[in-house]
Amino acid sequence: MTRDPVRVTLRVNGRPETGWAEPRTTLADFLRQELGLTGTHVGCEQGVCGACTVVLDGAAVRSCLVFAVQADGCAVETVEGLAGEGAPGREAVHPLQTAFREASAVQCGFCTPGFLMTALVALRERDDWDRAALRERLGGNLCRCTGYQTVVDAVLAAAPEVRALEGEGGRR
């Protein structure tokens, strides 16, 4: 029992990572500040905006509503894990990322990492989303720029390629 920092070990995007966290450090802050993975964004810190969404042991969760100590020993996927190895020195972006760019589903980009991780899990859950059901499935993520239509377009457009990629075991 302690309020001093304790060691926390996670498997992040397939790689073991260890850092120190006070009990009150959220998973979001641990990823950003201790592991330097600043792709996960922090907006409201109270579960409302979805910017901090990551995949924890297969489920999309709010990383601002999980203490890092609670996740010790778990597997975390973050937006940094989406892009794979491309040509030498370059990353190959994930089909969801390509679809977001092509559909103009990114404006300021603050909400984008959260949407990408939510969408990834939504497409793992099923790949036959209709527009109305997908809108509701993504409804926990807020965006102040795009008006959402293009985000839904992007996720629907990416579905076949994401399915193919996930079928190969994803890029984990």
Partner 1 sequence: MKTAPFDYVRADSVADALAALGSADDARVLAGGQSLLPVMALRLATPELLVDISRCPELRTYRREDGVLTVGAAVPVRTLELDPAVGGAHPLLVRTLRLVAHPEIRARGTLCGSLAHADPAAELPALLLATDGEVEVAGPDGPRRVAAADLFTGPFGTALGEGELVVSARLPLPAPAARWAVDEVSRRPGDFALAGVVCGLELDGAGRCSSARVVLFGVAGTPVRAAGAEQLLLGERVTGAVLDAAAAAAFDGVEVVGDEVHASADYRRRAGRALVRRALAAVAEDRS
Ligand X SMILES: Cc1cc2nc3c(=O)[nH]c(=O)nc-3n(C[C@H](O)[C@H](O)[C@H](O)COP(=O)(O)OP(=O)(O)OC[C@H]3O[C@@H](n4cnc5c(N)ncnc54)[C@H](O)[C@@H]3O)c2cc1C
**Cα 48 to the center of its chain, rounded Å:** 15
Q: Which helix (H) or strand (E) holds 149?
A: helix 149-167
Which of 19, 39, 43, 140 forms a contact with partner 1 (CB under 8 A)?
140
Which of 25, 27, 30, 50 forms a contact with ligand FES (CB under 6 A)?
50
Cα 110 to Cα 44, 53, 167, 168: the distances in Å are: 12, 12, 29, 30
Residue 85 binds: one of ligand FES, ligand X, partner 1, none (C-beta under 5 to 8 A by kind): none
Sign of CA dihedral 133, 137, 140, 142: negative
- As beta bridge partners, residue 56 has 59, 76
Which of 9, 48, 136, 149 forms a contact with ligand X (CB under 6 A)?
48
Q: Is 139 in the site for ligand X (CB under 6 A)?
A: no
CA distance 109 to 145: 9
CA distance 155 to 122: 9
Which of 10, 12, 31, 42 forms a contact with ligand FES (CB under 6 A)?
42
Q: Is 31 in the site for ligand FES (CB under 6 A)?
A: no
CB of 79 to ligand FES, least distance (A): 14
Nearer to partner 1 by Cβ, of 18 and 104: the residue is 18
Binding-site ranges for ligand FES (CB under 6 A): 42-45, 47-52, 62, 64, 106-111, 143-146
Binding-site ranges for ligand X (CB under 6 A): 47-48
